[in-house]
Amino acid sequence: MMSLSIQYISKNNEIGKVENKEDVPEHATFVWYDYDSFDDKEQLKKNHDFEHGRLEDEKIKNYRPAYFKNENYQLLICHVIDKKTFEAHAVNVCVMQDVIITFHNGSLEQFINIEEIIKDKNDDLEIDIALHILLNTIEQYFDIVHEIEDEVILFEERHVGDDKGKDITSEIYELKQRIFKVKRVIIPMEELVEKFKEQDDVLESERSEDILNKVDAKIDRQKLIIQFTEEMIDEIKDNYMSYNTYRMNKIINVLTIISAIFLPLTLITGVYGMNFENMPELSWNFGYFITLGIMLGISVSMIVFFKSKGWM
C-alpha cells in the first residue's frame, strides 16, 4: 500500500489534502508530495520526472548529507537519527517550481509542523520548506546528544563509589561508539550548510538566510555538547587508567617487597637443605631454633628497613 500524503495551496491560499496526484486541482499554487516509505520509490518514479538515482533509501546509503542542483530541481538529503539504534535514516527533499517532494521512512509530522510552514506562502516557499525540514531534522539531534550527555554524567556518578577494581572498559567503549555514530551524522552537516551558503541564487530572501543561520547555530551547539561529552569520557577513562596503573604499581611493590624478604630466607633454607655429611650445625641441640630465630630477625629487620624508607 502506497503511503503518499499530498497537501496543496489553492488559489485562495487555503490548504487542502488529497490522496492521489490526479486529484490535485489545476488551480493549486503549490503542492507537497510526501512519500513516507522507501517502498514507494517505484510509484515516485512514475509520478515525477527527475534523477531518481540520487535518492537515498535503505539500499542506497551514503550516510552523508548532500545537496544537488540543476536547472529543473534542487535535491537536499539530510538524516534523522534512530534513538534506539543510533542509525542514520535519509530524508530526501526535492524542490521544484511550486512543488516539493519528500521521500523518507516514517512521518515527518513527528518533528515538523507541515501546516505551520506552508500557511505563510511566499515566493521562496519551496526552498524555505527544505530549510525548515533541515532545521527540524537538526533540532531532533538535540534529544540524542542530550541523552548521551546525561548518560555520561550518570555513568560518572554511578561509578564514583564503585569498587575501583571493577572493569568499566566495555561500558566506556559503548558510550564512545554511540558518540561516533552521532558525530558521523552531525559533523558532515557543516559541509551541507557551507554548500547552501555558496549558492547566492538560492538564499534570496532574509527568511531563508535566517533559517540557515539557525541551522548553523544549532550545529555549533551540538558540536560543543559532543565535545564536552567526549572530554568527560576521556577524563573518566584517564582516571580509570591512572588508578589501575597506580593499583598495579602498588601490587607489584608489595610482591617485590615480599620477594625481597623471602630471598635471604630462601638462601638459608637452600644452604641447609644440601645433603652434606660435614655440617656442624646439624648436630647442634638448638640449631633448628637458632636458624628460625636468624630467619625471623632478618625478616623483621627488612620490614623495619622498608618502612623507614617509606616503601611499604
Residue 300 CA to residue 287 CA, distance in Å, equals 20
pLDDT at 16: 85
What is the per-residue pLDDT for 221?
A: 92
**Nine-digit cell at 219?**
550545529
CATH code of 26's domain: 3.30.460.20
- The region of weakest confidence among 76-85, 199-208, 233-242, 297-306 is 199-208
Q: Which three cell numbers stand for residue 248?
A: 598495579
pLDDT above 60 (res 165): no
Query: Based on the domain organization, do 42 and 177 belong to the same domain?
Result: yes
Same domain, 266 and 188: no
The tally of domains found in the chain comes to 2
Cα 297 from chain centroid (whole Å): 61
- pLDDT value, residue 224: 92
Q: Cell 488559489 identifies what position? A: 11
What is the tens place of the pLDDT at every residue in 210-226?
Answer: 888 888 899 999 999 99
Residues 139 and 74 in one domain: yes
Q: Of the residues 243, 261, 286, which one is the last residue of a structural domain? A: 243
Q: How far apart are CA 232 and CA 35, in angstroms?
A: 41
Give the C-alpha separation, 122 to 72, whole Å: 20
Q: Indicate if 266 and 300 belong to the same structural domain.
A: yes
- Does 284 share its domain with 145? no
Q: Do residues 267 and 225 share a domain?
A: no
* Residue 122 pLDDT greater than 80, yes or no: no
The residues with which 100 forms a beta bridge, in sequence order, are 32, 95
Question: Cα separation of 164 and 196, whole Å?
Answer: 50
Average pLDDT over residues 146-170: 76
* Same domain membership, residue 234 and residue 101: yes
Among residues 110, 97, 166, the alpha carbon closest in space to that of 137 is found at 110
Per-residue confidence (pLDDT) for residue 119, from 0 to 100:
64
pLDDT of the residue at 123: 60
- Given a contact cutoff of 8 angstroms between Cβ atoms, the answer to whether 100 and 126 are in contact is yes
Q: Verify that 138 and 269 share a domain, yes or no.
A: no
pLDDT at residue 191 in the model: 81
Name residues whose C-beta falls within 8 Å of residue 306's C-beta, 6 or more positions apart in sequence. 257, 260, 312
- pLDDT tens for 274-287 read 777 777 777 777 87
Q: Which of 251, 273, 270, 266 is nearest to 299 (CA)?
A: 266
Which range, 60-64, 120-124, 204-208, 218-222, has the best average confidence (pLDDT)?
218-222
Do 18 and 114 share a domain, yes or no?
A: yes
Domain CATH for 288:
1.20.58.340
- Residue where one domain finishes, among candidates 193, 224, 243: 243
Looking at the structure, tell me whether residues 264 and 211 fall in a common domain.
no
**153 and 298 share one domain:** no
pLDDT of residue 199: 67
Least confident of 12-21, 82-91, 117-126: 117-126
Residue 108 pLDDT > 70, yes or no? yes
User: For residue range 50-81, what is the model confidence (pLDDT) as tens digits?
Assistant: 777 788 887 777 778 888 888 888 888 888 88
| 248-273 confidence digits (pLDDT tens) | 888 888 888 888 888 888 888 888 77
Residue identified by cell 523518507 is 104
Q: What is the mean pLDDT of the chain?
A: 81
Give the residue numbers spanning the domain of 140: 4-243
Whether residues 64 and 117 share a domain: the answer is yes
pLDDT at 2 over 60: no
